[in-house]
Amino acid sequence: MSATLGTLDRRAAVKALLADRGDLLVISGLGSSSYDVFDAGEHPGNFYLWGAMGGAAMMGLGLALAQPKRPVLVITGDGEQLMGIGSLLTIATKQPGNLSIAVLDNGHFGETGMQLSHSGLGAKLEVIASGAGIRSVSDIADMAGIEAFRTSLRDVGSGPRLARIRIAAGEVERALPPRDGAYLKNRFRAHLGFAVS
Amino acid sequence: MDQIAVHQDSATSTDWPVAIYRTLKDFGVAQLSYVPDAGHSKLIKLSHADRAIKTTVLTTEEEGVALSAGAWLGGDRAVLLMQSSGVGNCVNMLSLMASCRFPLLTLVTMRGEWAEFNPWQIPMGKATPQAFEIMGVTVLRLDNPDDAEEVISAAASLAYDGDQQVAVLISQRMIGRKKWTKETH
């Protein structure tokens, strides 16, 4: 069994999501999602994960609770979200209106040899998110859907939301963001006005 | 503080969860996450009743590690409560804290070390200090209720000011024997 494959170009989809980003804060999941966010344009309000698989959405929750007036977007892959699937239930208990999760779903573990993921084998992340209690869920297969989701991010009162974004499973050239975690942390906090101690 | 009154003069040596709560407040802790444990139940209640602390129940302990990192990115100090059985779940996520030098303060109620009735709790309880230490977490012990403020304060300074990952292991002896049956042993 295999879920319907996506056709969206992941780089184009992420670039469109981050267009005119305003005060949007972004956490990206390890692997291709971090490369996509970096490729869309360096920004001090980006925090690129290079590890911590399964932790992206929870980092987004901690950040969203700390900065309730700023829209927070977690951009991650299906494999990364699957490893932290319980975090969807935890996020739902807090109903953070400013938190959105974009799952770039190609149905595969792309970084490790393109093995089929649970999503590729039929699991529907947007249905799981809805069942967990995430208020707004969507299944996006075209650029019009991306644009509608992007516009919705600015409303910090109507989340949490999760979009499953059906991307093509092809290989994309790597674009490597900085890997020094302390640098990324301090840069992000400075962007929010916190002094480095 | 809303529903539950905590008065400065009401503390006794058996009110160590209140002492912990007050110390966390003194350090400006704004987020608390937890996987429940009976030993933490009073502190969890105090946290839920406090509108200044965003309190989050987790499905598994490593979620709270990542939550603490995100909170710090956004300017909040966070604390994570768990029991010793959950420490092993956190191991890989602790590399996030080490790689980025994120502060982590976690308070762990111990099982499997003092008058433990359930043998299934013992392996992870015995391995708890090492499970933290292999990932570079500093381990402190709280064995005496009267030391609660001092130990939590030291741990909080080390975490939030020293950018360290710190676990305080709260002795099972402080929590008391779990009553399994009506018979006494």
Give CA–CA dist B18/B148, Å, rounded.
9
This prediction's pTM: 0.94
Would you say the C-alpha torsion A114, A120, A123, A124 has a positive or negative sign?
Answer: positive
- In this complex, which of B31, B56, B102 lies closest to A90 when CB atoms are compared? B56
pLDDT score at B1: 41
Q: Do residues B13 and B148 lie in contact, with contact meaning Cβ atoms separated by under 8 Å?
A: no
Q: Which residues partner with A102 through β-bridges? A: A75, A163
pLDDT score at B8: 43
HSE, CB side, 13 Å, CA atoms: give it for residue B58.
32
**d(CA A26, nearest CA chain B) in Å:** 11
Question: From the CB of residue A183, how many other CB atoms can be counted at a distance below 10 Å?
Answer: 11
pLDDT digits (tens, 9 = 90+) for B145-177: 999 999 999 999 999 999 999 999 999 999 877
How far CA A142 is from CA of A4, A16, A122, A138, B112, in Å, comes to 13, 11, 20, 12, 54
Please check the confidence at residue A2 and state whether its pLDDT lies above 70: no
Please check the confidence at residue A192 and state whether its pLDDT lies above 90: yes
**d(CA A197, nearest CA chain B) in Å:** 8
Chain B residues in contact with A197 (beta carbon < 8 A): 161
% residues pLDDT > 70 (chain A): 98
For B62, residues 6+ apart whose C-beta sits below 8 A from its C-beta are A54, A55, B89, B90, B92, B93
CA-based angle B95:B97:B103, to the nearest 5?
155
Q: Which two tokens stand for residue B19?
A: 């002492």
Please check the confidence at residue B185 and state whether its pLDDT lies above 70: no
pLDDT digits (tens, 9 = 90+) for B80-122: 999 999 999 999 999 999 999 999 999 999 999 988 889 999 9
Task: Give the range among A53-62, A145-154, B174-183 with minimum mean pLDDT.
Answer: B174-183
CA B156 to chain centroid, in Å, comes to 11
Strands B54-57 and B77-83: unpaired
Which residue in chain B is spatially nearest to A88 when comparing CA positions?
B59
Q: Residues in chain B whose beta carbon is closer than 8 A to a beta carbon of chain A?
A: 30-31, 54, 56-60, 62-76, 78, 92-93, 95-96, 99-102, 161
For B183, residues 6+ apart whose C-beta sits below 8 A from its C-beta are none
Are B60 and A65 in contact (CB < 8 Å)? no
pLDDT score at B184: 52
Please check the confidence at residue B7 and state whether its pLDDT lies above 60: no
Residue recorded with tokens 């190609």 = A106
CA-based angle B105:B109:B113, to the nearest 5?
130
pLDDT digits (tens, 9 = 90+) for A80-93: 999 999 999 999 99
- In this complex, which of B57, B70, B161 lies closest to A58 when CB atoms are compared? B70
pLDDT digits (tens, 9 = 90+) for A99-130: 999 999 999 998 899 999 999 999 999 999 99
Q: What is the mean pLDDT of residues A145-165?
A: 97
Give CA–CA dist B2/B63, Å, rounded.
27
pLDDT score at A132: 98
% residues pLDDT > 90 (chain A): 92
pLDDT score at A188: 98
Please check the confidence at residue A37 and state whether its pLDDT lies above 50: yes
pLDDT score at B11: 43
For B103, residues 6+ apart whose C-beta sits below 8 A from its C-beta are B68, B72, B77, B97, B159, B160, B162, B163, B164, B165
pLDDT score at A171: 82
pLDDT digits (tens, 9 = 90+) for B52-81: 999 999 999 999 999 999 999 999 999 999
pLDDT band with cut points at 50, 70 and 90 for residue B51? very high
CA torsion B133→B131→B70→A8, rounded to 10°? 130
- B interface test, pick of A47, A49, A53, A58 with most B CB neighbours within 10 Å: A58
Strand order in the sheet with A46-48: A46-48, A25-28, A72-77, A99-105, A161-166, A136-140
Strands B165-170 and B104-109: parallel
Please check the confidence at residue B6 and state whether its pLDDT lies above 90: no
Are A63 and B56 in contact (CB < 8 Å)? no
pLDDT score at B176: 77
Give CA–CA dist A71/B9, Å, rounded.
42
Average pLDDT for chain A: 96
How far CA B162 is from CA of A36, B40, B76, B98, in Å, comes to 34, 26, 16, 13
Q: What ipTM was estimated for this complex? A: 0.96
Task: Give the range among A132-146, A161-175, B12-26 with minimum mean pLDDT.
Answer: B12-26
Checking phi first, is residue A61 left (phi over 0); if not, alpha (psi -120 to 50) or beta? alpha
pLDDT band with cut points at 50, 70 and 90 for residue A4? low
**d(CA A5, nearest CA chain B) in Å:** 30
